[in-house]
Structure 1
Amino acid sequence: MTRLTSLYLENFVAFQHPLDWRAHSSLNVIIGENDTGKTHLLKLLYAMTRAIEEHAKKRAGPEPKELAEVLAGKLRWTFLPPKMELGRLVTRGSGNRLSVELGWNGSGHLKFAFGKDTVSRIVEMQTNNLPELDGHKASFLPPKEILSIFDAIVATRESQEIASFDDTYYDLVQDYRQPPTAGKWQDNIRNVFRHLEDVTGGGEVEMDKDGTIVFRRGKESFNMHQTAEGIKKIGILSRLMRNRRLTPTGGCMLFVDEPEVNLHPKAIVLFAEMLHEFAQSGIQVYLTTHSYFLLKRLEQLAREKATDYALLDLRKQPDGGGVTGTVTRLAQGLPMNPIVEESLRLFDRDVLLDLGA
């Protein structure tokens, strides 16, 4: 099965120093304090893989486009840089050039580079074994749910082409619009549905024929403004599975930015188990998180199942020289990191209070 295996970049936003992230796993967790580039890294991976997906579709159509053109557009609409100029993604400083290489299955790669004066075209690009990713699908779940702002996303992008919502939101709207299809589910995907039912109480978010989105549980129906944020996020995930957007068949990559947002700790733990089931099914998962609950449960699952899940810990350099990353394996235990350290500080404070200190 084809999957991403490496990412190299330098002079990309906060990543002034080279980041050479190798040995990607079926599930990859990115952590770091605020402003360490977690979401930028997740969006970069998504923009590249989604551009490859869209290029493959356009290649067979009546108006094929070069990958460089598709990728440039995807980067601009995913990051919405000032004046929509690609050069704004380059780390500030004279002479800097952004350089990125994405690798898969050892020999496949997509390389590109551009300078700070680049506006909308990528001239320097190289690919190898690109057809290995044909049929792969890339999906991005942002922190904010889309269902209550569905119409606004559609209107600003399709009617006016205003840069109000980036492509992680607009692409998700497009993916959500696809109707459900019948068919058998892999065992791991059936397990995800069981977890979803635990969170929603057996309810389901559905889109009616007229485009109205409602949450139904038993005989009751609720519009999106009456539905909890966490339920709406779960509803998006359910729809993507039911319309076969999230399926191991043909290859799939799921990018999730801070899945814990608007979820109760119990639901966060269940979400971690869903992501584990996705990874076990063959879907490659990338996520960012600030949640100890999510991180701890994923570490437990990695140890219980002896799975080689990867943890990328991003840290700001004290001299202001950008961000660096360290990779460890969750099956070897949870390494000390800012999330764990803060949890221990709170525990130590509890001990002091109990002792009357």
Structure 2
Amino acid sequence: MITNLQLKNFTAFTDLVIDFSPGINIVLGENGTGKTQLLKAILALSGQEYSGAQVGEQLAGKLCRLYHPLNNQLGELRRAGTRAGALLSATYASGQHITAKFNGSATEAKVSVGMGNGRLAPAIFIPTKEVLSLVRGLTAEQPHLPTIERIFDDGYLDLANTLRKEDDGNLQKKTQTNPRFSSIVPRLTNLIGGRYLLKAGGFCFQAGMYVDQQGESVADEELAPQSFKDSKLRFVSKQSPLMSSGMTAEGFRKIGVLQRLLSNGSLNPGTTGPLLWDEPESNLNPKLMKDLVLALLELARNGQQVILATHDYVLLKWFDLLMDRGKGDHVVFHRLYREAGSDDIQRESQADYSIVGRSAISNTFAELYDEDVKRALGGD
């Protein structure tokens, strides 16, 4: 769990310091204010096995694969127009910290690492574009990696490999016995009307629903058949053929990514590192957003730190309406913005939805509403 991040003279940032909630963090701001860059910096610093004499080279390589600088040189990630060095620094709840420094001509970073207590769990990054349908191509047995890396940054490649991870046990049993899954996985599955299964190196869709019924369970097609008596909640598949993931809606595939991460244990609330999600609303039907927000809130209630970046008013408003402080919900909004006439990105953080009212998102929707009322009243 990350508690603090500092970015100095790095990409779009002059000097950004941000403290994160252990629950849900929502980063909002106009295009070009560095939301995705911030998430990628956390990904680069969180949970990587940086050690030994090559640590600076390892981190430099990771940053270049994430940000794709023009000439693939680390120094290009130093903020344009400055002669001062760049710095990235992250601190974690169990005491670990990592700091990286480099100048404009650098090919590797100077890195210092404080181990703290225990191993640092890696972050999981879900990019804007869906990845489920790309897994077969990105993880082929004989890929042309240089070409793939020119097209896709490491955020996509890391997630594709994580999605291919084999399931860690019987999902049906975990759903029945583990409260962390009992409300989340069925909600996501029923939201899209089925689940995504790994077949022949890619994903297909099996239509079905979780239902309450007594008696022995049906066999779980993705896992070894098992029977659990006296259980109520189970997945029941429809009598229809499996469908290629590419033939399902992109919004469903985005939900399917979260579903898959939970089912294979890559996302295990309370033990895994931060979940970073860039624009979860992208290509998602607005009517799906309420259930998505409910699932994210339930993840956080079970110990999963969530950091997401969004432009979407509907998503933001559902967080405002659905968070329940009585259940321990802690949602912090981080607004990135520029003052008029300045290129420096500023940060404002607040555990209150009113901060959204000072953003371009709220202003735009207010303007749209005013125009709609004016037309309804016959105004010019």
TM-score where L is the length of structure 1: 0.88
CA deviations on 1:229-285 (whole Å, 9 max, x unpaired) are 011112221111111000025333111000011111111221111111111111111
In structure 1, the residue matched to 2:224 is none
Alpha carbons of 1:308 and 1:320: their partners in 2 closer, same or farther (altered >3 Å)? same
C-alpha displacement at 1:14, in angstroms? 1.3
In structure 2, the residue matched to 1:159 is 144
In structure 1, the residue matched to 2:191 is 199
Mapped to 2, the partners of 1:213 and 1:38 lie a distance apart of 30
C-alpha displacement at 1:131, in angstroms? 4.6
C-alpha displacement at 1:158, in angstroms? 4.5
Contact kept in structure 2, 1:308 and 1:330, CA below 8 Å: no
Establish whether residue 307 from structure 1 lines up as the match of residue 297 from structure 2. Answer: no
Q: Which moved more, 1:165-174 or 1:305-314?
A: 305-314
Of residues 369, 372, 377, the one that matches 1:347 is: 369
Alpha carbons of 1:139 and 1:341: their partners in 2 closer, same or farther (altered >3 Å)? same
Mapped to 2, the partners of 1:100 and 1:135 lie a distance apart of 17
* Counterpart residue identity of residue 325, structure 1: R
Alpha carbons of 1:336 and 1:321: their partners in 2 closer, same or farther (altered >3 Å)? closer
Higher-Rg structure is 2
Contact kept in structure 1, 2:135 and 2:201, CA below 8 Å: no
Of residues 98, 117, 134, the one that matches 2:105 is: 117
Unaligned runs of 5+ in 2: 208-237
More helix by share: 1
TM-score where L is the length of structure 2: 0.83
Q: Which moved more, 1:151-160 or 1:86-95?
A: 151-160
Mapped to 1, the partners of 2:102 and 2:141 lie a distance apart of 29
* Counterpart residue identity of residue 349, structure 2: V
C-alpha displacement at 1:187, in angstroms? 1.7
In structure 2, the residue matched to 1:45 is 42
C-alpha displacement at 1:308, in angstroms? 2.4
C-alpha displacement at 1:181, in angstroms? 2.0
Contact kept in structure 1, 2:357 and 2:363, CA below 8 Å: no
Mapped to 2, the partners of 1:155 and 1:97 lie a distance apart of 39
Of residues 161, 170, 187, the one that matches 2:179 is: 187
SS at match of 1:149: helix
SS at match of 1:83: coil
C-alpha displacement at 1:333, in angstroms? 7.5
Mapped to 2, the partners of 1:21 and 1:41 lie a distance apart of 10
Runs of 4+ deviating beyond 6 Å: none
Mapped to 2, the partners of 1:113 and 1:12 lie a distance apart of 10
Of residues 106, 113, 122, the one that matches 1:127 is: 113
* Counterpart residue identity of residue 339, structure 2: Q
Alpha carbons of 1:156 and 1:244: their partners in 2 closer, same or farther (altered >3 Å)? closer
Alpha carbons of 1:221 and 1:310: their partners in 2 closer, same or farther (altered >3 Å)? same
Q: Which moved more, 1:131-140 or 1:86-95?
A: 131-140
Establish whether residue 178 from structure 1 lines up as the match of residue 165 from structure 2. Answer: yes
CA RMSD of aligned residues (A): 2.3
Establish whether residue 85 from structure 1 lines up as the match of residue 82 from structure 2. Answer: no
In structure 2, the residue matched to 1:222 is 243
CA deviations on 1:294-314 (whole Å, 9 max, x unpaired) are 111112233554532111101
Unaligned runs of 5+ in 1: none
Alpha carbons of 1:316 and 1:248: their partners in 2 closer, same or farther (altered >3 Å)? same
Contact kept in structure 1, 2:135 and 2:202, CA below 8 Å: no
In structure 2, the residue matched to 1:260 is 281
In structure 2, the residue matched to 1:141 is 126
Mapped to 1, the partners of 2:162 and 2:117 lie a distance apart of 22
Mapped to 1, the partners of 2:263 and 2:331 lie a distance apart of 26
In structure 2, the residue matched to 1:323 is 345
SS at match of 1:28: strand
